[in-house]
Structure 1
């Protein structure tokens, strides 16, 4: 890993000085029509209806695909400030990103997501880089590096992509190696001494071999400050790298090899104290002052380092062989490793009421083999997929001054997962304008789990649990210091060893009507599954480690894609209804001895209903306006009783899903104009709106998350051929105070994570 890091670091510096010529894209065989130097006004980066996507495993115009897709090209992503997965909320209404209380990302599309704090929690939204799966959401940290485009598919996926997903899929398409030498670099300097340096080198090695290497280094000083003492937090330090080699030994055979990864040595964000919630909380905690309404204000333990030491690496290989002019065999193989070591403050104070140290690691392997082709009016894809995962997760709570009966403990979980799948997808063209689509996938997953909570070695926690076990069992039970203390049904300490074996059949059917070259109407019905999950939890009783079983979602969607007013306006919209069964939530179960305990649960019935509309307007040359609006109405159905965020038993029927705003709006405007014979100017900006939501079940006021609107601005100049470009930017122009998460990870305090304050800076870009 260290060798790869040094090699990619050197490459990013080489990119600054290397000359280049215009890039072509072999991977998707897309046609490129860059503006010429004679153009008085350059075309916007993102043209109307001309983005080619591979969402259905073949190259198609995004506005001729009967699926709800948001597709944005790489240069437009950079323009709009999309530097990581969290920033996709700027371009994709209906997408939501939350960093959990322990730092694990939670991805949601149209209200379909899975909030859990364990690194091994399978996401309801799958993420891929060049169709190679990233099995854990935390792995997507560096996926936005050096992109050709990103494709965001909404609704159940699985009949074409390698993993099952109820919410959707995000496919990052990397920029490919080029036939001629090409390079570039970007240097950003901004508030909090943020420095981002990224660059790439691309070109031929031989007549049949091409390569591309890209790297990014991003660091910043502390952006958070304590409001009770002289202390700061929030340093950033992330390195990302990717190397791709494409080999075409013959006209029919193509290989692509990729190595990519990242290293994160940033500090974990500190939360704000939102409320004291524990009736037995220590007096010092109850007297702690609440923070001001300031994104930068926070508090954190003074004697604990929050600097992460985490890294991820993945190697993959793809082979495509054309059996004939219309039939292709594809193999995609990938292996990845992840190691995480982080500490988080989970009470928002300088008193150590609740903090955690979170080591973890994973190893993952996947293999996909598929056959695709055309036969007359029929296009087909059939394939097999195998995935193997080994995930170890550890959570060590630190509770020196709290209502917990211990000062330190350690919760372990060890999972091994084997997944086998077969899938097929067919498109049949009934007429020149009418196409029928169908797909099916069979998945069989075997999950083995070992979990337990351990005393720290001090003996304080084991002594408490020994007394409980002795009282309940009616016989002496002694748990040694440092031993496993999770009690089984006989009130004896033992590791929980369990299995979860599940299979399912997901499917999709649809019809597309291309009424005219610029009008597409479509309707789809699909069913998707998300596999079950075991929690990583501080479990006094084995009952807390009961898994949530697989969830299913049946989706009904009808939509349109219209090119209007001589293609000056592209208008795409859809209505959808999701019938949700056994949705997985982080809730509570009742232990007969000590009452409600944190656990994963299934909600038998719920639904999502809503609609979305996206418009791209180019009223005059050089001016492009993008706007998207999504309404997502979520509701728990039936007579469902569980516990609210403060462990009070309540009827939850009729409630909306936590962390799911019903309205989301994105908007971006970009205007490019000529300044001189050799230079263009540009101005633009974006706005995102998120409606109010709640951080927990029960919709308690302590966990309310207010609505907010964020505004970004940008302006700059560029040479006509875009060889040099200088951009000034401001993010969160109004310095809006807003929260992304409110939760109660410990027994005494509810905490709030805020978004970034106003930031600004300059970016100098070089292309030749």
Structure 2
């Protein structure tokens, strides 16, 4: 059995205080820098981060490397107001300032959009694995609908890849780590001719399962391959064409359902709670589920799965980006195609008995086109464009309870989405100190759903445009907008106030058991209006950076996800979020960087109907009241190079995993930290590093699904245990 780490409360307080006052924007180390300033493309043009009246964080390539090849969830430890849930690579859910969509149906889109080089990725199952050979990752908090679209209600995460270079260069990294991990990442870039450049990047990640299965194969392994080829060519004297081909492959992994079993009862609201070791709620045995099973120890990384979880994915995309400078006006065209095939299976009951097995299959394609013009003069900077999107996703789900429960449910179908939008934004500099920004977007969404349900081979429900013409075809029209006032009272200080309106298209839910009320399948679009004020400031010759913001969300028709029984529901409810956040960076001496961030959230979803019928207000899921983080990095010359020490820590107060706020969904506050030591040669050719992620081996959950009232258990996913490793990088 793994030994549980012990940290005295007094030591925890010292670590937390050090994180809070140790002067997370430091995560932006070695992002794109111009004149010692971090440059981002948060408004579809290159700007200095400190000159933008948005709450933005940029995590640079060096900071991403320092994460020790963690998955995308590691971003949550670097950025304020960000939480990431990835219970297996099958679905990745971002939460920014409490806004997320926790429905695990493959056909759903999220209110936190994910972009790769300005291309929207609609499929939640296509996000994992794209974090290689990156220039930086940008995290934009608050509605971004004006420039980025209908599904950036709460913000967005954008990966910016490294582009082909006009000089020959490259790198290769080999990482070894816990559970037999062997991972690689590398790229080669350079000119093919005077007018053509190319970059090829490859990555792999293989390791064994980190959940020991006592009666079968271990769960949670990785067999991942990824590649990206970019070719850039000069077209005439003022044009550039970039073609990018990307592929991701997870091959027959055992990463499906990396759960920990816990017996559960339920209260008067039919909400689950964890059973004590001697509590015989179901009359089966103390601490047992409804079928008489209880895990034999308290270790969340050991289990008795009668079935091995399964995950297999093939994703590829091709993007063509053309840019042309007309002199004072620039044309940008981005054409993209994506294809995803994904198969997933899990042992949902997490026991030696074949009680409840869950399988999904998804075949998706997406086609998008963006065309825009941009221009600027001494006082006016403007942008206008049109965007089109087409998605077709075929989804199949199966719940197999035939061996013991006596049923097998097969359901799913095809969802088609067509969307068109026009958008524009203009910034007018009234003076050297005052700027006004106004923008707007209007979107049309057409969705069509063809769904069927069968129990034990007998079709008992059909939902399509023939059987339910007024429900199975939905049209959504709405507008996003922005107005912002920026004020520079002195150099290196920005004050801003803004109002931003974002929207997320409506859609259709997935229900697993009949009878099904067809009126409960469609749900409406949501609208979020953010009123925000903030400041950005640099002092002492940019040795001190201090940013802060305060915001209030007026959230209409929030798409609240809930699991009632074993069926998934999305209902529209009013909600609100009020909060503030801050970031501080100190560079007090050569080689020393200290950073900290904090975030406070007050969230409420109104009129939630609990499974037993009571209507009440609830907190938003994955929205801790307080988050505090910090990082220290110190580099000193040592012999023929430099030695760097880095540690980062993040504290989250308690939070729920569902809109119901079930007792079993409450995760206690926790503090998690990482440590890295590296040596870089004087010519920057070699980098040798050792790292420990989750250095205290903290046990904490990143996901929970309450099945207490129906199966007497809960699906819990814990963050990976302490992960120790080392890497060698060669740059050329």
- 1:77 is aligned, of 49, 54, 64, to 64
Partner of 2:636: 673
2:148 is paired with a residue whose SS is coil
CA contact (8 A) 1:588 1:597 kept: yes
1:408 is paired with a residue whose SS is strand
How far is the alpha carbon of 1:734 from its aligned partner? 1.1
Taking the aligned partners of 1:84 and 1:101, their CA distance within structure 2 comes to 10
- 2:294 is aligned, of 289, 295, 301, to 289
The unaligned stretches of length 5 or more in structure 2 are 1-27, 271-280
How far is the alpha carbon of 1:548 from its aligned partner? 1.4
Taking the aligned partners of 2:540 and 2:429, their CA distance within structure 1 comes to 28
Taking the aligned partners of 1:502 and 1:281, their CA distance within structure 2 comes to 46
- TM-score, length-normalised on structure 2? 0.88
Partner of 2:209: 222
The unaligned stretches of length 5 or more in structure 1 are 1-42, 456-460, 462-481, 590-595
Structure 2 residue 332 is matched with structure 1 residue 321: no
CA contact (8 A) 1:219 1:235 kept: yes
How far is the alpha carbon of 1:83 from its aligned partner? 4.2
Q: Where does 1:596-611 land on structure 2 (aligned, <5 Å)?
A: 598-611=567-580
1:273 is paired with a residue whose SS is coil
Partner of 1:642: 609
- 1:663 is aligned, of 623, 626, 647, to 626
Structure 2 residue 241 is matched with structure 1 residue 239: no
Partner of 1:576: 551
CA contact (8 A) 1:165 1:529 kept: yes
CA contact (8 A) 1:378 1:429 kept: yes
CA contact (8 A) 1:222 1:234 kept: yes
Taking the aligned partners of 2:350 and 2:58, their CA distance within structure 1 comes to 38
Partner of 2:96: 109
How far is the alpha carbon of 1:353 from its aligned partner? 2.4
Taking the aligned partners of 1:360 and 1:698, their CA distance within structure 2 comes to 28
Distance change (3 Å), C-alpha of 1:45 and 1:58: closer
Taking the aligned partners of 1:518 and 1:62, their CA distance within structure 2 comes to 11
After the TM superposition, which of the residue ranges 679-688 and 96-105 deviates more from structure 2?
96-105
CA contact (8 A) 1:546 1:599 kept: no
How far is the alpha carbon of 1:97 from its aligned partner? 1.2
CA contact (8 A) 2:560 2:573 kept: no
Taking the aligned partners of 2:682 and 2:258, their CA distance within structure 1 comes to 45
Question: For residues 228-286 of structure 1, what are the alpha-carbon distances to aligned partners after superposition, in whole Å with 9 as ceiling and x for unaligned?
Answer: 64652222111111111111123311111101120012222431122234899795844
Distance change (3 Å), C-alpha of 1:186 and 1:495: farther
Taking the aligned partners of 2:568 and 2:469, their CA distance within structure 1 comes to 17
Q: Where does 1:349-498 land on structure 2 (aligned, <5 Å)?
A: 349-400=351-402, 404=405, 406-455=406-455, 461=456, 482-486=457-461, 498=472
How far is the alpha carbon of 1:750 from its aligned partner? 1.7
After the TM superposition, which of the residue ranges 108-117 and 741-750 deviates more from structure 2?
741-750
Distance change (3 Å), C-alpha of 1:765 and 1:488: closer
Question: For residues 690-713 of structure 1, what are the alpha-carbon distances to aligned partners after superposition, in whole Å with 9 as ceiling and x for unaligned?
Answer: 221122344332222122111111
Partner of 1:565: 540
Structure 2 residue 696 is matched with structure 1 residue 710: no
Taking the aligned partners of 1:738 and 1:298, their CA distance within structure 2 comes to 17
Distance change (3 Å), C-alpha of 1:443 and 1:620: same
- TM-score, length-normalised on structure 1? 0.84
Partner of 2:21: none
1:233 is paired with a residue whose SS is coil
Structure 2 residue 473 is matched with structure 1 residue 499: yes
Taking the aligned partners of 1:488 and 1:499, their CA distance within structure 2 comes to 10
After the TM superposition, which of the residue ranges 385-394 and 660-669 deviates more from structure 2?
660-669
Question: For residues 696-733 of structure 1, what are the alpha-carbon distances to aligned partners after superposition, in whole Å with 9 as ceiling and x for unaligned?
Answer: 34433222212211111111211012110110001111
Partner of 1:765: 729
Partner of 2:239: 253
- 1:732 is aligned, of 677, 685, 694, to 694
Q: Where does 1:33-432 land on structure 2 (aligned, <5 Å)?
A: 45=30, 50-81=37-68, 83-99=70-86, 103-226=90-213, 229=215, 232-265=218-251, 266-267=253-254, 268-277=256-265, 285-290=290-295, 292-300=297-305, 302=306, 304-324=307-327, 326-400=328-402, 404=405, 406-432=406-432
CA contact (8 A) 1:452 1:496 kept: no
CA contact (8 A) 2:451 2:463 kept: no
2:75 is paired with a residue whose SS is helix
Distance change (3 Å), C-alpha of 1:380 and 1:651: same
Structure 2 residue 496 is matched with structure 1 residue 522: yes
How far is the alpha carbon of 1:641 from its aligned partner? 4.5
After the TM superposition, which of the residue ranges 88-97 and 194-203 deviates more from structure 2?
88-97
CA contact (8 A) 2:417 2:447 kept: yes
Distance change (3 Å), C-alpha of 1:187 and 1:495: farther
Question: For residues 628-647 of structure 1, what are the alpha-carbon distances to aligned partners after superposition, in whole Å with 9 as ceiling and x for unaligned?
Answer: 1111111123xx1512xxx2
Distance change (3 Å), C-alpha of 1:523 and 1:206: same
Distance change (3 Å), C-alpha of 1:68 and 1:289: same
How far is the alpha carbon of 1:53 from its aligned partner? 0.8
Distance change (3 Å), C-alpha of 1:669 and 1:550: same
After the TM superposition, which of the residue ranges 542-551 and 756-765 deviates more from structure 2?
542-551
How far is the alpha carbon of 1:175 from its aligned partner? 0.5
Partner of 2:274: none
Structure 2 residue 674 is matched with structure 1 residue 688: no
Distance change (3 Å), C-alpha of 1:745 and 1:681: same
Distance change (3 Å), C-alpha of 1:628 and 1:401: farther
Structure 2 residue 585 is matched with structure 1 residue 620: no
1:515 is paired with a residue whose SS is coil
Distance change (3 Å), C-alpha of 1:308 and 1:102: closer
Distance change (3 Å), C-alpha of 1:362 and 1:95: same
Choose between structure 1 and 2 for higher RCO, CA contacts under 8 A separated by at least 6 residues. Answer: 2
Distance change (3 Å), C-alpha of 1:660 and 1:82: farther
2:510 is paired with a residue whose SS is coil
Taking the aligned partners of 1:315 and 1:363, their CA distance within structure 2 comes to 12
CA contact (8 A) 1:295 1:755 kept: no
CA contact (8 A) 1:359 1:395 kept: yes
Question: For residues 4-27 of structure 1, what are the alpha-carbon distances to aligned partners after superposition, in whole Å with 9 as ceiling and x for unaligned?
Answer: xxxxxxxxxxxxxxxxxxxxxxxx
How far is the alpha carbon of 1:539 from its aligned partner? 3.9
How far is the alpha carbon of 1:625 from its aligned partner? 1.3
2:74 is paired with a residue whose SS is helix
- 2:599 is aligned, of 619, 622, 630, to 630
How far is the alpha carbon of 1:757 from its aligned partner? 0.8
1:501 is paired with a residue whose SS is strand
How far is the alpha carbon of 1:627 from its aligned partner? 1.3
Distance change (3 Å), C-alpha of 1:182 and 1:712: same
Taking the aligned partners of 2:514 and 2:672, their CA distance within structure 1 comes to 43
Distance change (3 Å), C-alpha of 1:50 and 1:237: same
Taking the aligned partners of 2:430 and 2:65, their CA distance within structure 1 comes to 41
Distance change (3 Å), C-alpha of 1:141 and 1:641: closer
How far is the alpha carbon of 1:140 from its aligned partner? 1.3
CA contact (8 A) 2:686 2:730 kept: yes
